[in-house]
């Protein structure tokens, strides 16, 4: 059954600003790739590889903060803003602690690239980029904590302001620091990374000021660190972090193995991945909105509203990705040509984009359902679904097709398609089962009693 206009409007009111934020975050990578494209394919591939390696690690930290979505949105829906503020304080503490080991993990990139046989020129660029980019770990995770808290209480304008300001700084600093304009030093690859670090700090300052303002408005007073609340956040966040690590690591590993084919396939892969990543920001924004809306419905003990929110989000996410797939299938050369004029890169990238158009439909499905299921208080099943889809099927199949099956670089994309399809379909059946269970339990309970999720709902 299709969602009503009111349901779509309600979801859109929260999802639209989050989508813009996600697109704004994605714009950083687009700008970096465009600037590197003016230097050469090796720089495009190296910065793309370094970026995918760094964010694979950072997204584990981000995932560990996703418990804020569930717990804070429920507290907000139940009319307890001070509890939401307390959750945020614990989240920024967790973010600061996690950033330290993630900062040092970057040193393992060099032996890893050597072990999998990445082209030496591409690896050298990636390592130079990572050496500076790792300083972005702390501000990136602090901003993530601020974002999760603010969007869980329906505050998005300060986040949009931080993204817009950060993007303007990114364009200016990239141009100045990469090429040495406006009196700035010409730092090349290092300048590109340094611009990202500065931009992340600016965004964190803006979002952090807004978060502190909301905490004061709620009358929150810090009364010490509460282990049960931190444990509840981590009980939800750690499986989510591992799930994100699995998913992004599979894509990062695919990029790493693509590096064995040389600069041209690596550049085509990076550009194509950049394009599908841009469209992915839309269902990712819808996914965050779904987690918040479903969580708020649970907080209000309104099971019907919670389940409707999940269904509406799924309809919106898959609908958009289907539309963008048609565009990619129709105009592949045009989209690849926006990044480069190299005919070899355009030809190979167009073939990759055809497969990317298909797999992004299932990518949109899995990420939206991920958020909806998280809103119900479950994060473990998503981890197992991604392990099966990507670790057992997707990446091994892609590697075999690429290096043994005779498909070459395209084989890695076929493997990614298989993994996303399995994961998306699997999570659809999980959501349907959990939704029905929640509705049944809610109807059997009294109107004044919270539903017992049987272990699915961690309580602070």
CA-based angle 28:71:289, to the nearest 5?
A: 45
Token pair listed for 198: 């500065």
Q: How far is Cα 321 from Cα 362, in angstroms, rounded to an integer?
A: 8
Q: For residues 148 and 71, is the Cβ–Cβ distance under 8 A? A: no
Q: Give domain status of residue 262, yes or no.
A: yes
Residue 2 confidence class, pLDDT cut points 50, 70, 90: low
pLDDT digits (tens, 9 = 90+) for 403-456: 988 888 889 999 989 999 999 999 999 999 888 888 887 777 644 434 343 333
Overall pTM > 0.85: no
Q: Give domain status of residue 460, yes or no.
A: no
Q: Give domain status of residue 122, yes or no.
A: yes
Q: Which of 84, 21, 78 is nearest to 214 (CA)?
A: 84
Q: How far is Cα 51 from Cα 270, in angstroms, rounded to an integer?
A: 10
Q: How far is Cα 213 from Cα 8, in angstroms, rounded to an integer?
A: 30
120 CB burial (10 A radius; 0-12, 13-18, 19+): exposed
3-state class (DSSP) for residue 331:
coil
Q: Give domain status of residue 457, yes or no.
A: no
Give the chain's domain count: 1
Q: Give domain status of residue 454, yes or no.
A: no
Q: For residues 230 and 93, is the Cβ–Cβ distance under 8 A? A: yes
3-state class (DSSP) for residue 404:
coil
pLDDT digits (tens, 9 = 90+) for 92-117: 999 999 999 989 988 888 888 888 78
pLDDT digits (tens, 9 = 90+) for 206-243: 999 999 999 888 888 888 788 888 888 888 888 888 88
Q: Give domain status of residue 450, yes or no.
A: no
Q: Which of 112-121, 153-162, 311-320 has the lowest mean pLDDT?
A: 112-121
- Strands (E) across 135-199 are located at none
> Residue 139: its pLDDT value, please?
93
Q: Give domain status of residue 417, yes or no.
A: yes
Q: Give domain status of residue 455, yes or no.
A: no
**What residues make up the domain containing 203?**
5-444
Q: Which residues contact 117 (CB under 8 A, 6 or more apart)?
A: 259, 260
Rounded to an integer, the average pLDDT of 326-333 is 90
Q: How far is Cα 250 from Cα 240, in angstroms, rounded to an integer?
A: 15
Indicate the helix (H) or strand (E) that contains 432: helix 409-444
> Residue 1: its pLDDT value, please?
60
CA-based angle 237:203:71, to the nearest 5?
A: 25
């Amino acid at each position: 059954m299709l969602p009503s206009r009111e349901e779509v409007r309600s979801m859109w009111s929260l999802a639209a600003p989050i989508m813009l934020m996600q697109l704004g975050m994605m714009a950083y990578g687009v700008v970096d790739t465009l600037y590197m494209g003016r230097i050469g394919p090796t720089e495009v591939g190296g910065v793309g590889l370094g970026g995918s390696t760094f964010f694979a690690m950072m997204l584990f930290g981000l995932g560990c903060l996703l418990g804020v979505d569930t717990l804070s949105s429920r507290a907000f829906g139940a009319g307890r803003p001070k509890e939401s503020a307390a959750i945020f304080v614990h989240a920024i503490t967790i973010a600061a602690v996690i950033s330290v080991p993630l900062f040092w993990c970057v040193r393992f990139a060099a032996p890893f690239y050597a072990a999998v046989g990445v082209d030496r020129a591409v690896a050298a660029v990636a390592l130079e980029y990572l050496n500076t980019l790792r300083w972005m770990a702390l501000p990136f995770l602090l901003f993530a904590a601020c974002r999760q808290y603010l969007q869980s209480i329906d505050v998005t304008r300060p986040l949009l302001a931080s993204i817009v300001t950060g993007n303007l700084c990114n364009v200016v600093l990239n141009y100045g620091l990469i090429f040495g304009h406006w009196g700035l030093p010409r730092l090349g690859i290092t300048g590109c990374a340094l611009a990202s670090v500065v931009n992340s700090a600016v965004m964190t300052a803006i979002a952090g000021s807004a978060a502190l303002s909301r905490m004061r408005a709620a009358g929150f007073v810090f009364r010490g660190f509460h282990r049960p609340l931190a444990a509840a956040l981590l009980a939800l966040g750690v499986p989510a972090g591992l799930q994100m690590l699995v998913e992004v690591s599979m894509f990062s590993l695919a990029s790493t193995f693509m590096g064995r084919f040389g600069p041209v396939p690596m550049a085509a892969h990076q550009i194509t991945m950049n394009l599908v990543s841009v469209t992915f920001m839309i269902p990712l924004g819808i996914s965050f909105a779904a987690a918040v809306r479903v969580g708020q419905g649970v907080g209000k003990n309104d099971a019907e509203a919670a389940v409707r929110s999940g269904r509406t989000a799924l309809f919106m996410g898959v609908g958009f990705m289907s539309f963008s797939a048609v565009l990619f299938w129709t105009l592949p050369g045009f989209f690849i040509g926006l990044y480069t004029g190299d005919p070899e890169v355009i030809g190979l990238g167009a073939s990759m984009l055809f497969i990317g158009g298909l797999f992004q439909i299932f990518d949109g499905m899995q990420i939206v359902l991920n958020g909806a299921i998280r809103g119900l208080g479950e994060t473990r099943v998503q981890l197992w679904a991604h392990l099966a889809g990507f670790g057992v099927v997707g990446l091994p199949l892609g590697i075999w097709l690429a290096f043994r099956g005779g498909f070459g670089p395209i084989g890695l994309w076929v493997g990614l398609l298989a993994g996303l399809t399995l994961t998306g379909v699997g999570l659809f059946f999980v959501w349907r089962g959990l939704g029905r269970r929640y509705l049944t339990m809610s109807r059997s309970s009294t109107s004044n009693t919270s539903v017992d999720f049987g272990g699915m709902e961690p309580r602070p």
